[in-house]
Structure 1
Amino acid sequence: LVHKFGMRSDVLTYNLSGMGCSANGISIDLAQRLLQNRKDLKCVVVSTEITAQQVYNGNERGFLVQNTLFRCGATAILLTNKPDTRAKYKLLNVVRAQQSKTEKDYGCVWEDQDEGGHRGVFLAKNIVDVAGKTIAVNFRRMGPHILPIPELIKALFNKKYVPDFKRGINHFCIHAGGRGVLDGVQKSLKLSDRDILPSRLDLYHMGNTSSSSIWYELGFIERSGNLQAGHRILQVAFGSGFKCNSMCWLCLRTE
């Protein structure tokens, strides 16, 4: 990108490849840390689907899913700490979590080869369960930042209570990893069909676009006309590792 657009020699670049579908949250976290160190900076975060050749030519079902699920996608987000900039959103919180203690959790999404030597991305049957566990860990850390006090008190005295995140969040951008994953997230968080609609629309129209999916979903929300200044948006990305990263944004303007 620096070469393509002839950027200045003092432009710093960071390559966070190999981070899977949750890479955007990691990149936003890095950008936030960089912007905290110096004033009047701009940072562009570019998220893409995997750019290497990954078509699987074998016959094992666990590998074949990738050929129908993953698509091409890319987004670019400009962040700045300049106070006079008319930003559309303000980043409130970034929370990262990983679940890789066991081989089953770590290897539920894995680049490997089958018995015939064909390489591809293997998706295990337990991926929905692993995603659920990792999201739960992430949300326990994000909850205190976004939930009202009554919900926090209920969760404190009842370990089985699932907080109503809709009391602190107006819009949800859940990574469109697949229909089963979205069904599981919707059920566990008690989200309505309307809450999960941006993710389902993204999956239907775009497929799984990896780390860029949560920004396609935000685009759907913007075009729906339901977004207003003062609304809070929660983006949740998860992927190989197994990792889950969430970001909470405040909408400052819609025009």
Structure 2
Amino acid sequence: MRNIYLKSGLGDETYGPPFIFEDDDGDNNNNNNNNTNNVPTLKSANQEAREGVFSSIDELLGKTLIDPQSIDVVIVTCGGFSPSPSLSSLIVNRYNLRSDVTTYNLSGMGCSSGVLSIDFAARVLRGSRKVQNALVVITESITLNWYHGENRSMLVTNCIFRVGCAAAIMSNNPKLFKRAKMELVHSLRTHHGADDSSYRAAIQEEDEKGNTGISLTKDLVRVAGVNLRQHIKILAPRVLPLTQITNYIYSMIISTILPQSKFKPMVPDFTTAFEHMCIHTGGKAVIEQVSRVLKLSDEVTEAAKMTLNRFGNTSSSLVFYELAYFEAQKGKVKKGDKMWMIAFGTGFKVGSLVWKWIQDSTQDCDNPWNDCIHNYPLKVW
């Protein structure tokens, strides 16, 4: 695990669940180096979930001044933890939400589920005039997904996945438009699970000794690249400037007409469509693969690299930590700027969100980068 971690791109300030740092009696003991017998429990998983979910929602409601009674929909995504009562019920109980609130729980969708849950909320809001405010909570559980075996492909998850959570209010209420940070102008989700290698690129299973874990295969990076290319074939014509679209379509036609030639379709320059990009921070190899496929500069991938270094792979919430990185840099994001969020998920899924900033970004009091942004960017790779 140490060898994997040292090559991961993660720094030393990421966050893990409490059980990792406790001795067998559940007491904090920083001098105890023998953590192999620590057993993750339902109690510790609930603690991890409550700390992330409640603190995120508390700060969100405090900033937006949204009355909890005005929330019509609650969407919670957590890939590997599905307690009973559900996490959405936990939120309804904690914040005393209305009895007619509609709740959804998304699970098993991997790191793309944060992007997909925002897309889902937007579809719900577009589908009903009576529904105006949707609370989206994006989290993951490391505790019950900790792998105790020796299979290298499963040990990777212990080394790169870290604790994180994000919450957002989405609204179709025109009275709230000027108070909003961003407007969602486009979303796209593609599913590539019909292909066996894509389906099995990241999969939960048991090792030869019966230990359950999530296996990240060696084919994962290749699969991410192949499916990203398929995804941008659909996305590119919808978001790129006309000149880029024309050149891209022309290159596609030529490559189809002359399949035996060495001519390859051009890679669209997505920096002509977006001022800022939040790229899936699944790991060092994934960021490098996205950079190669899209031909992105180090400046464009900076937010992804720094987020991986500081917070690790927080799974479904990872692109929102990148968003916070941009916000923490004063004057970085201006009114009218467009931002692209792209994330990958098990199955295999690719999700994109395109945002337009309604106002200049500001550094919020609860920005997770507040205590360290002055140290970034670092030379990490």
TM-score (norm 2): 0.65
1:15 has 2:105 as partner: yes
Aligned with 2:190 (options 87, 97, 112): 97
User: Does structure 2 conserve the Cα–Cα contact (< 8 Å) formed by 1:50 and 1:210?
Assistant: no
Residue equivalent to 1:200: 305
Aligned with 2:139 (options 48, 52, 58): 48
Count how many residue pairs are aligned between Structure 1 and Structure 2.
Answer: 255
Offset from partner CA, 1:146-180 (integer Å, 9 cap, x none): 10000001011112110100001110001110000
Give the CA deviation at 1:25.
2.0
Unaligned runs of 5+ in 2: 1-90, 253-264, 363-381
1:87 has 2:194 as partner: no
Offset from partner CA, 1:155-208 (integer Å, 9 cap, x none): 111121101000011100011100000001111111111111111111101110
Pair member with larger Rg: 2
Distance 1:227 1:29 in 2: 22
1:122 has 2:215 as partner: yes
1:251 has 2:341 as partner: no
Residue equivalent to 1:184: 289
Residue equivalent to 1:167: 272
Give the CA deviation at 1:4.
1.3
3-state SS in 1 of match to 2:351: strand
Higher mean alpha-carbon deviation, 52-61 vs 66-75, is at 52-61
3-state SS in 1 of match to 2:225: helix
Residue 104 of structure 2 aligns to which amino acid in structure 1? Answer: Y
1:231 has 2:324 as partner: no
Residue equivalent to 1:5: 95
Higher mean alpha-carbon deviation, 25-34 vs 119-128, is at 25-34
User: Does structure 1 conserve the Cα–Cα contact (< 8 Å) formed by 2:221 and 2:286?
Assistant: yes
3-state SS in 2 of match to 1:24: helix
Give the CA deviation at 1:52.
5.6
3-state SS in 2 of match to 1:173: strand
1:132 has 2:215 as partner: no
Aligned with 2:250 (options 153, 157, 176): 157
Unaligned runs of 5+ in 1: none
Aligned with 2:160 (options 24, 48, 69): 69
3-state SS in 2 of match to 1:195: coil
Distance 1:250 1:138 in 2: 21
User: Does structure 1 conserve the Cα–Cα contact (< 8 Å) formed by 2:142 and 2:162?
Assistant: no
Give the CA deviation at 1:77.
0.9
Residue 181 of structure 1 aligns to which amino acid in structure 2? Answer: V
Higher mean alpha-carbon deviation, 132-141 vs 87-96, is at 132-141
Distance 1:138 1:188 in 2: 12
1:33 has 2:126 as partner: no
Offset from partner CA, 1:106-149 (integer Å, 9 cap, x none): 01100111111111110000101111111112211111221000
Offset from partner CA, 1:195-243 (integer Å, 9 cap, x none): 1111111110111000100100000011123111110000001010010
3-state SS in 2 of match to 1:14: strand
3-state SS in 1 of match to 2:341: strand
Distance 1:239 1:50 in 2: 15
Give the CA deviation at 1:101.
2.3
User: Does structure 2 conserve the Cα–Cα contact (< 8 Å) formed by 1:109 and 1:124?
Assistant: yes
User: Does structure 2 conserve the Cα–Cα contact (< 8 Å) formed by 1:111 and 1:121?
Assistant: yes
3-state SS in 1 of match to 2:281: coil
3-state SS in 2 of match to 1:115: coil
Residue equivalent to 1:144: 237
Aligned with 1:216 (options 321, 326, 331): 321
The root-mean-square deviation of aligned C-alpha atoms, in Å, is 1.2
Give the CA deviation at 1:102.
2.8
TM-score (norm 1): 0.97
3-state SS in 2 of match to 1:166: helix
User: Does structure 1 conserve the Cα–Cα contact (< 8 Å) formed by 2:142 and 2:161?
Assistant: no
